Amino acid sequence: MSVKKDRENWGSRLGIIMAVAGSAVGLGNFLRFPVQAANNGGGAFMIPYLVSLLLLGIPLMWIEWTAGRFGGGFGHGTAPGIFNSMWEKNRFIKYFGVIGIFGPIVIFIYYAYIESWLLAYSFFSLTGKLSSLEGQAGMQSFLSAYQGLVSNEHFSGIGTAYLFFLITFVVNTWVIYKGISGGIEKLCKWAMPVLLVFGVILAVRVLTLGTPDPAKPGWNLANGLGFLWNPDFSALKNSKVWLAAAGQVFFTLSVGIGVILTYASYLKKHNDVALSGLTSASTNEFAEVILGGSIVIPAAFVFFGPEQIVNVAQSGAFNLGFVTMPLIFQKIAWGSVFAFMWFMLLFLAGITSSISLAQPAISFLEDEFNVTKKEAVMIFATVTFVLCQASVFLLGHGVVDELDFWGGTFCLVLFATIETILFSWVFGIDRAWDEMHSGADIRIPKLYKYVIKYVTPLFLVVLLVFWLLQQGIPTVLMSGVPDANRYFILMTRLVLFGMVALLAVLVNIAWRHRAQKKTT
Ligand code: PFF
C-alpha cells in the first residue's frame, strides 16, 4: 500500500455539471422514458412524474451533492464513509452505505453490455448492414442472432457481440483510469454537447415528418404526439403508475444509488452545489422530456400507425431502440446517417453513464484502502469483467432483468430512503441546509427545507411499502418466472448476496485498520 495522497478534484465547474448530467442522461432518457410514459397513461404519466421530480428527484440531487461534498472533505468518496462522517457515533450506518457501491456495480454489469450493442449498431449503420435487413422479422432475427440467442445467416455465435463488448469495456476502463478530471471530465465535456446536438437533430427530423404516407392521413405527427401526450387521467388512480413514475425519476437522474455522492466528493469545500445540482437535473430533464419524448414514439406512430404502436410500445425499450427505430430509418432519406446518429447518441449517453457507475467502487478502493488508481482500476476491471460474462452469456435466462430489479429498482428506493432520513433527521435539517448553501450561487426556496425534512422521507417510505407489496415481494418469490430460468435467477441472487457480504467485510476491515492507525 502506498502513502495516502491528496484526493483528485474536478477541473472546472462546467466539468462536474457535464459529468453528473452525463451520468443522468443515458439509455433511460431515450428508451425507458418514452416506453414508460406511453404505457402508463400517456400525458397523465407526466403528473406523477412531475410530482416525483419536484418532491423526490430534485431534493435527492441536492442531498447527494451536499452529502458527497461533505464526505469528500473527510477523504471519503463513497456511502460507507460519507454516512459515517454524517453520523459518527453510529457503528452500523457505514454498512448501509455498502448499497452505494454494490448498486452501481450491479447496474454496470448489464449496462456496459447493452452499451456495447449500441457501438455495434452504430457500426452496422455505417456499413449499410441495417438498411439491408427486411421488415420487422428480418430486423428482429438480426438482433437475436447478434445477441447469441439464435444462430442464422447473420451471425452464428456470440463472437461479434463479444468483440464490441471488449472494445466498450476497454474504453470504459481507460476513461476511468485516466481519472476524474483527466478521463471522466474530459470525455463528458465533448460527449455531452455532441449527444445533445444529435438528439436535437433527430427530434427536429421526427417533428418535421408530417404525414409521410398521404394514403394514411391519420398516421401523422400530431396524432403521434397525441398518442404519447394525450392524458388518460384514470391512470392517476393506479398506484402502479405512481411507482413507475417515481422509479423513472430515480433511474433517469442517477439518484438514490451513490454515484452522485461519489462525483460530488471530488468537489472542493466551497464549490457551489445548489445551482450545479439543479443545472445537471435540468439538463437531464431537457434530454428526457423534450428530446426523449419527441423521437421514438412519435416516429413509430407515423410509420406504423395507431394499431401497431400499442404493440410497439409494449414490446419494450429494446425492441423500440434496436428493431423499430432502424426500420424507421430505412424509410427516410439519409436514413443511414440518422441511424448512425441515433446509435452514437445512445452509445455516448451510455458511456457517460457507465463510467459513473464504475467510479464508486474505484473511489472506495482508493479512499479506504489507500491503493493507487492503477491498482483500483485493475481490481475493478477484473471483477466486473468476470461478472459481465453473466450478462453476455445468460441474457436469455432472465439474468439481466434480475440484475435490473436489484440494482436498478430495489437498491434505489432503499438507499434513497436511508440517505434522506440520515440527511434530514440525523445530520439534521438545519445543519444540512447550511451545508447546502455553503458556497452556493442560488438560495434554494425555503419551502424545500420542509420538503426535504418531511415530504421527501414520507413519500419515500410510502413508496417503499407500496413497492414492496406490489412488485418487491412477488418478484422475490419469482412469480411468473419460467421454470427454466429459476436456477439462473437463484444463482444470480447467490452471487449478489456474496457481493454484498464481501463489501461489508471490506468496510469492516477498512475501519478496523483506521482504528488501529489512530491508536498507534
Ligand atoms: N441515469 C442513467 C439513464 O438514464 O440511463 C442510468 C443510471 C446511471 C442509473 C447511473 C443509475 C446510475 F447510477
Report d(CA 122, CA 117) in Å as an integer.
9
Question: In this predicted model, what pLDDT tens digit does every residue of 295-327 receive, in sequence order?
Answer: 999 999 999 998 888 888 888 888 899 999 999
H or E segment at 452? none
**Diameter of the chain measured on Cα atoms:** 84
Rounded distance from Cα 462 to ligand 1 centre (Å): 23
Nearest 5°: the CA angle 156, 159, 165 is: 140
pLDDT tens, position by position, 170-210: 999 999 999 999 999 999 999 999 999 999 999 999 999 99
Q: Who has greater pLDDT, 264 or 519?
A: 264
Asked whether residue 3 carries a pLDDT value surpassing 60, the answer given is no
260 has pLDDT over 60: yes
Q: Do residues 60 and 456 touch, judged by C-beta distance below 8 A?
A: yes
Report the separation in Å between the CA atom of 109 and the middle of ligand 1, taken as the mean of its atom positions. Answer: 13
Residue nearest to atom 13 of ligand 1 (CA): 254
For ligand 1, the distance from its centroid to the CA atom of residue 13, given in whole angstroms, is 21
> Ligand 1 pocket test: which of 53, 108, 251 has the largest number of ligand atoms within 8 Å of its C-beta?
251
Helix (H, G, I), strand (E, B) or coil at 483: helix
Is-contact 411 50, C-beta < 8 A?
A: no
Q: Give me the phi and psi of 231, to 5 degrees please.
A: -80, 140
Domains of the chain in sequence order: 13-519 (1.20.1740)
Q: Give the count of alpha carbons within 13 A of 455, CB side only.
A: 16
**What is the 157 CA–ligand 1 centroid distance (Å)?**
30
Q: Is the pLDDT of residue 496 over 60?
A: yes
User: Cell numbers at residue 370, please?
Assistant: 489507500
Instruction: Give the pTM.
Output: 0.95
CA distances from 440 to 46, 235, 273, 277, 436 (A): 30, 39, 6, 10, 7
